[in-house]
Structure 1
Amino acid sequence: MAQPYLHEHVTCVAAPATWLSDRSGQLRGGADGLYVDDRRVLSRLIVTVEGAEPVPVQVRRTGAASARFTAVLPALGDDGPDPTVTLDRRREVGPRGGTETLTLTNLSHATLTVEIAATCETDYATMGAVKDGRDTGSTVDLGGTPAAARDGMRVSVTADPAPDAAGALRWRVTVAPRDSWSVLLGFTRTDVAPITRVAEPSRLRVTADDRRLDALVRTGVEDLDALRHADGEHVYYAAGSPWYLTLFGRDSLWAARLALPLGTAVAAGTLRALAGRQGVRHDPETDEEPGKILHEVRPVDAAHWLPPVYYGTVDATALFVSTAADAYRWGLPAAEVEPLLPHVERALAWLAGHDGFIAYQSSAKGLANHGWKDSGDGVQHADGRIAKGPLALCEVQGYAYRAAVDGAWLLEAFGRPGAAGWRDWARGLAERFRSAFWCPGGYPAVALDGAGEQVDSITSNIGHLLGTGLLTPGESARVAGHLAGLRSPFGIRTIAPSSAGYNFLSYHLGSVWPHDTAIALLGLVRDGHRQDAAVVIRAVLDAAARFDFRLPELFGGDDGPAPYPASCRPQAWAAAAGPAVLTALLGLDVDMPAGLLRLAPLSPSPVGAYRVRGLRVGGGELDVSISADGAVTVHDGPAGLTIVQP
């Protein structure tokens, strides 16, 4: 069956919970529901007044975890064209469930006596079953005392004031003119332990001439805060709502790195959570290997066709090393970095254990592709042929080069041996890449296939090579030129429209992914392609404005950013595009161990003048203003740092 569409849903998130409904607020089926830990707590919630459903007129998000729905009852109240009876629903989700406050307001001239009823049910479905569009079986009426699911999952429902009779959520109410009546409904998954929201909210904010930047950063920060989850004491960003509200290797690491302007706490927690599950053995059932970093974790009762702990990713291991190095540069204390170094060394050993290039072979029990474009058709030749493995992806070689250099720097900084050997290994990888990956058209192949043939599609993957150090300046310029050819007005397309497999609404073959665009943006800045970077920033802001500044996981890559119907929203690494844009705008380079913070703002600024407050570096915050022509005024900065400007 087809995967449910989400593009018209209203989503409220407080990891590990998410609440999805249409714009009326009613839960009717499909993906609608309140979920906790990948299980559906509430599958149906229909509110009626005098047996009729209210007519929705407005909905707005009031935060990442809350929304307000307004509806009218046209058959009630005064005669005439104007509605005089309204029903307001204020929804808020928490880590174990959620609440909804229903308020009936009588603006008519006569006293109103009506019955308000709420029909609510659950099917205890797993997120995997919902995502697949499968029949989730019979439902349980939650109006009375619900029975637990066979596996022990339990849901409680509360109402204040209590309903008129046990077993049904019904109230006969009398409301005087200009008065209102309210009831608070609560839905909680009670078989899981209480969850404390982790870490203080982020304080990063920006005020710019282009106010779209303010909204993008504010919404992204709110969503990232809502997506904070924890593995024990280790905080991380859950990848995205609703399909991926859990720990992912690649996604959680990239989100933590892009969001380093919010602080190092999430990066540290992500690293510790992944280090605790770093591979120790060869297991073909889960793709675990010694030193390897996992792909995703699911609760045992919600795991679908993949194992609860699954290692089918080729890039998370290198990203783990570079995230550790970046977190240290941004001020993660040495005492927190040092315990991670044995895990860094094991990750580096996993990289070096490959013959020639870091490659993967899909297994029958796992994902077809192990890079970030992990759909079955995600890696194609320009003529549309599906690439056959084992596959060596171009961006993974860039990640590995950067990881070896970063790992050498970390080992040297902490007085551990092996730094020179890893720098030599990185140079050898770059030489092999240069001789094998460059296509006759002057761009890197997306991959080498199992026969050593170049997979010659022009893809956004090449943008991930920028800023890694793998490319020479001339090679970097050629990559930047080809990225310009991939640009839509709203970001960087995943594949060139000239490719036979191009489809602007495919998952990986023509769509635009905000995180993918943000990674390329940072690489453009690091490699000195500043005018290209300014164009990309304006494209990201144009896209953000089309999506109410809550960027989705992906969207259509044509000349209008059509929603991808099954896209997660919010998605952590898409939400982190806002902080990443700030990093690029500022030309920010942080090296806390050296006591340096470098600012080289894009000039002229693509957003006009702007001021950034609450950007965390180490234990302090940066407060800085940038004029439209790039002049810097530092209002406050972290103690002990020298701020360097060009």
Structure 2
Amino acid sequence: MEHDDVQQQPWLHDLSLTLAAPTQVWSAADGQVGGPGARSGLEGVLHGERRVISVLRLDVDGREPAAVASHSVRGDSTTYVAVPRHLGDPGPDPTVRVERQRHVEPGLVRERYIISSTAAEPVACTLGLLVGADLAPLDGVKAGTGRAPVAPEGVGGHVLSWQQDALRAVLRLPGAHTTHDGDHARATWEVVVPPGESVTHELLLTLDDTRAAVTAPSREPGWNHVEVQSSDRRLGPVVERCLDDLRLLRLAAPGADGVEEEFVGAGAPWFLTLFGRDSLWTARMLLPVSTDLAMSTLRLLAHRQGTRTDDVTAEEPGKILHEVRSAGFSLNEADEDGGDRHLPPVYYGTIDATPLWALTLHDAWRWGAPDDQVERLLPALERALAWAVEHGDADGDGLLEYVDRSGHGLSNQGWKDSGDAVRRSDGSRARAPLALSEVQGYAYAAAVRGADLLEAFGRSGTDQWREWAERLRGEFAQRFWVEDALGAFPAIALDRDKRPVVSLTSNIGHLLGTGILDPDGVDVVARRLVGPDMLSGFGIRTLSTQAAGYSPTGYHVGSVWPHDTAICLSGLAAEGRPEAGPVADALLAALAAFDGRPPELFAGDARSAQPAPLPYPAACRPQAWSAASAVSLVSSVLGLRPDADGLVVDPVQPWAFGETRVSGLGLHGRPQDIEVGADGAVAGTDR
């Protein structure tokens, strides 16, 4: 089948990103943005939900310099080095170079162009910059659709500008001469570089969207500084890079009384906004670093908690939202009637965000979040628990299930939300309403731990939630267990006829640590997760290689997602299972292979077949819960958990990381130094 004439989602795996949410610059590896040489349909300067600048190409005397190297110490700054080979002394040694320094802040992009020379004579040249804008909506860019350029205002001067709706972009080019180049603009600087010296020019782009649903936080993160020193030299750099990316993914939105609340946007480039599931998992994984992030995320989602029933938005009383945008977002896939699936600006189509909200509140409390902050959210907790009974279990059978009643929303509403995510082992797709296995585990744990939290604060009604949870546990045990040639395991879901969807998936790993499994069930799940059909050597596959629908680059049907593996690892560690060791090794190998910036997902090929994880070309990176998986990894292998006496450290055995010292993790406001010896024994914790 030919695909050349089909609009396709841009690939990202070989692009360079400089980021400070909600502003991002995606370029080729040499720093060039868009134009005739573009490698991807994404390249450009993105701000919020628009691509503003689509072309930013540098040349010297009309020729693009030859790329030599690029480097990025932090995610918000990148330097690109190139050589204009037609300039300088004759001979093989380059004597003139062009350095392009890119720095991004929220709403601001600054580039400096430094031409330096060691040539024997002065070097004269024209530094040129082709600039174009299309102001394209992000969903159109994601779909691979083209958009006509938008001509700038101010050509002939040093300041160019574009404005459309609530978006305004202003580009300052000090000292440049600007001219029209079709619908683009061309800026030029006449340059003379004396021997042994350099000449610098720059641009400054400011961006503002007054209609934006989310903005940059007004303050720096109050997170503990985390440092990892280990005999396993992969650990420290991975954690440092992932925390830097999480810092740059931070966003904010107004909560109750207009108070700014901080959260972590789901991921670049498409999902730099508030996502219930993603932002909660990220905050939950970062609890050893900060409870403040979790509490602000919880407050913001509680402020948006559902109050009415609306099939178009999937809102229901007590329900936690799926995502927020300033405008609707097209999914660029057909619905059942052949129309376009598209989401409204505020969309609640998620089955798991509500129990995950309850679990995150409980866990934040256990990790030391202030009692007064927790207590103010207890009414929202009660509404969330009530939602599970009154709306999450729509047919009253004791299980949580979902179905898209609008006809144009998400057809699957768990974390695996692609249209083909829930398949039987023969490859056929299950039809909604669907009751996902892991959601039953979340709901059980949310009811039990929610009851514990309510009881601790003297609230009534706790017995009903424990009784409801036990009924759910019984229904799960009776209805979800299936068998294949290798033995028993929980099905991924029950279909609309309440038949088990027999397929071995990573979903079962999310059941560990929830309490919904008995000891025998824990043993089965742990062993099945590390079988050769599930554990690739770089993580746990989303679908067993034995399934007919398995594809190593299938989005949810064979790929590996770092956060998914981290959740499985956390459950294995919580259950005290030895399988935690090989899963931790696989996850760390993947994080290190991507230089500490793990993508949303990667291919599920076996490590024995591919010595490095194969990129999924369209995967977002950085992505919040993928980055947070590095912290979750460290927390899991150290066996960190809070109890009444403080922080418990119980490293997984056998210990495979050598002498390790970790500082900055701990209970709220009380980071500790944790030392583990080469034998895995805790050498000490300083409180």
TM-score category (smaller protein): over 0.9
User: Is 1:513 the counterpart of 2:561 in the alignment?
Assistant: yes
Q: Indicate which of 643, 651, 656 corresponds to 1:606.
A: 656
Who is 1:458 aligned against?
504
Matched residues in 2 for 1:359 and 1:85: separation?
64
Q: Indicate which of 162, 166, 180 corresponds to 2:175.
A: 162
Who is 1:279 aligned against?
306
Please report how far the alpha carbon of residue 479 of structure 1 lies from its aligned counterpart in structure 2 after TM superposition: 0.3
Deviations along 1:221-275, one digit per CA (max 9) or x if unpaired, are 1111111111131110100000111100000000111111211111111101111
Matched residues in 2 for 1:31 and 1:55: separation?
22
- Residues matched between the structures, number: 633
Q: Indicate which of 194, 202, 205 corresponds to 1:184.
A: 202
Change (3 A) 1:562 1:443: same
Who is 1:291 aligned against?
318
Task: Between 92-101 and 370-379, report the one with greater CA deviation.
Answer: 92-101
Which letter does structure 2 place at the counterpart of 1:34? V
User: Is 1:199 the counterpart of 2:221 in the alignment?
Assistant: yes
Who is 1:25 aligned against?
31
Please report how far the alpha carbon of residue 107 of structure 1 lies from its aligned counterpart in structure 2 after TM superposition: 2.1
Please report how far the alpha carbon of residue 284 of structure 1 lies from its aligned counterpart in structure 2 after TM superposition: 0.7
What are the within-5 Å matches in structure 2 for residues 158-557 of structure 1?
158-159=172-173, 161-164=174-177, 168-192=186-210, 195=216, 196-200=218-222, 202-232=224-254, 233-300=260-327, 305-353=342-390, 354=393, 355=396, 356-363=398-405, 364-440=407-483, 441-485=487-531, 486-529=534-577, 531-557=578-604
Matched residues in 2 for 1:226 and 1:190: separation?
18
SS of structure 1 residue aligned to 2:201: strand
Matched residues in 2 for 1:517 and 1:111: separation?
57
SS of structure 1 residue aligned to 2:587: helix
Please report how far the alpha carbon of residue 636 of structure 1 lies from its aligned counterpart in structure 2 after TM superposition: 2.1
Who is 1:64 aligned against?
75
Matched residues in 2 for 1:189 and 1:533: separation?
46
Matched residues in 1 for 2:234 and 2:53: separation?
35
Task: Between 539-548 and 141-150, report the one with greater CA deviation.
Answer: 141-150
Kindly indicate whether the alpha-carbon contact (under 8 Å) linking 1:198 and 1:230 is maintained by their aligned counterparts in 2.
no
Please report how far the alpha carbon of residue 12 of structure 1 lies from its aligned counterpart in structure 2 after TM superposition: 1.8
Which letter does structure 1 place at the counterpart of 2:624? A
Deviations along 1:473-499, one digit per CA (max 9) or x if unpaired, are 110000011101210010000000111
Matched residues in 2 for 1:24 and 1:613: separation?
37
Who is 2:336 aligned against?
none
Matched residues in 2 for 1:313 and 1:298: separation?
16
User: Is 1:78 the counterpart of 2:100 in the alignment?
Assistant: no
Kindly indicate whether the alpha-carbon contact (under 8 Å) linking 1:122 and 1:142 is maintained by their aligned counterparts in 2.
no
SS of structure 2 residue aligned to 1:69: strand
SS of structure 1 residue aligned to 2:665: strand
Matched residues in 1 for 2:162 and 2:535: separation?
51
Please report how far the alpha carbon of residue 143 of structure 1 lies from its aligned counterpart in structure 2 after TM superposition: 7.3
Task: Between 14-23 and 369-378, report the one with greater CA deviation.
Answer: 14-23
Matched residues in 2 for 1:120 and 1:292: separation?
45
Deviations along 1:9-47, one digit per CA (max 9) or x if unpaired, are 111221111111110101115101111111112111001
Which letter does structure 1 place at the counterpart of 2:202? L
Change (3 A) 1:120 1:538: same
Which letter does structure 2 place at the counterpart of 1:361? V
Matched residues in 2 for 1:246 and 1:571: separation?
12
Please report how far the alpha carbon of residue 434 of structure 1 lies from its aligned counterpart in structure 2 after TM superposition: 0.1
Kindly indicate whether the alpha-carbon contact (under 8 Å) linking 1:511 and 1:554 is maintained by their aligned counterparts in 2.
yes
Matched residues in 2 for 1:76 and 1:616: separation?
56
Matched residues in 2 for 1:343 and 1:582: separation?
31
Q: Indicate which of 573, 578, 585 corresponds to 2:625.
A: 573
Matched residues in 1 for 2:604 and 2:230: separation?
27
Matched residues in 1 for 2:641 and 2:132: separation?
52
Q: CA RMSD in A?
A: 1.6
Kindly indicate whether the alpha-carbon contact (under 8 Å) linking 2:661 and 2:673 is maintained by their aligned counterparts in 1.
yes
SS of structure 1 residue aligned to 2:316: coil
Task: Between 455-464 and 437-446, report the one with greater CA deviation.
Answer: 437-446
Who is 1:11 aligned against?
17
Matched residues in 1 for 2:662 and 2:154: separation?
50
Change (3 A) 1:549 1:387: same
Who is 1:644 aligned against?
none
Matched residues in 2 for 1:44 and 1:264: separation?
41
Which letter does structure 1 place at the counterpart of 2:371? A
Kindly indicate whether the alpha-carbon contact (under 8 Å) linking 1:250 and 1:319 is maintained by their aligned counterparts in 2.
yes
TM-score under structure 2 normalisation? 0.90
Please report how far the alpha carbon of residue 183 of structure 1 lies from its aligned counterpart in structure 2 after TM superposition: 1.6
Kindly indicate whether the alpha-carbon contact (under 8 Å) linking 1:604 and 1:628 is maintained by their aligned counterparts in 2.
no
SS of structure 2 residue aligned to 1:125: strand
Matched residues in 2 for 1:623 and 1:98: separation?
38
Please report how far the alpha carbon of residue 385 of structure 1 lies from its aligned counterpart in structure 2 after TM superposition: 0.7
Please report how far the alpha carbon of residue 152 of structure 1 lies from its aligned counterpart in structure 2 after TM superposition: 3.5
Please report how far the alpha carbon of residue 142 of structure 1 lies from its aligned counterpart in structure 2 after TM superposition: 7.1
Change (3 A) 1:306 1:280: same
- Identity among equivalent positions (%) equals 46
Kindly indicate whether the alpha-carbon contact (under 8 Å) linking 2:224 and 2:665 is maintained by their aligned counterparts in 1.
no
Matched residues in 2 for 1:302 and 1:425: separation?
37
Who is 2:335 aligned against?
none
Q: Indicate which of 611, 623, 627 corresponds to 2:673.
A: 623
Who is 1:153 aligned against?
167
Matched residues in 1 for 2:409 and 2:187: separation?
45
Matched residues in 1 for 2:635 and 2:588: separation?
15
User: Is 1:110 the counterpart of 2:125 in the alignment?
Assistant: no
Q: Structure 2: any 5+ residue segments left out of the alignment?
A: 1-6, 181-185, 255-259, 332-341
Matched residues in 1 for 2:178 and 2:641: separation?
64
Task: Between 325-334 and 168-177, report the one with greater CA deviation.
Answer: 168-177
User: Is 1:2 the counterpart of 2:8 in the alignment?
Assistant: yes
Please report how far the alpha carbon of residue 516 of structure 1 lies from its aligned counterpart in structure 2 after TM superposition: 0.1
Matched residues in 1 for 2:262 and 2:447: separation?
26
Q: Which runs of 4+ in 1 moved over 6 A?
A: 301-304
TM-score under structure 1 normalisation? 0.95
Please report how far the alpha carbon of residue 164 of structure 1 lies from its aligned counterpart in structure 2 after TM superposition: 4.0
What are the within-5 Å matches in structure 2 for residues 113-128 of structure 1?
113-128=124-139
Matched residues in 1 for 2:499 and 2:328: separation?
42
Matched residues in 2 for 1:634 and 1:303: separation?
53
Which letter does structure 2 place at the counterpart of 1:533? A
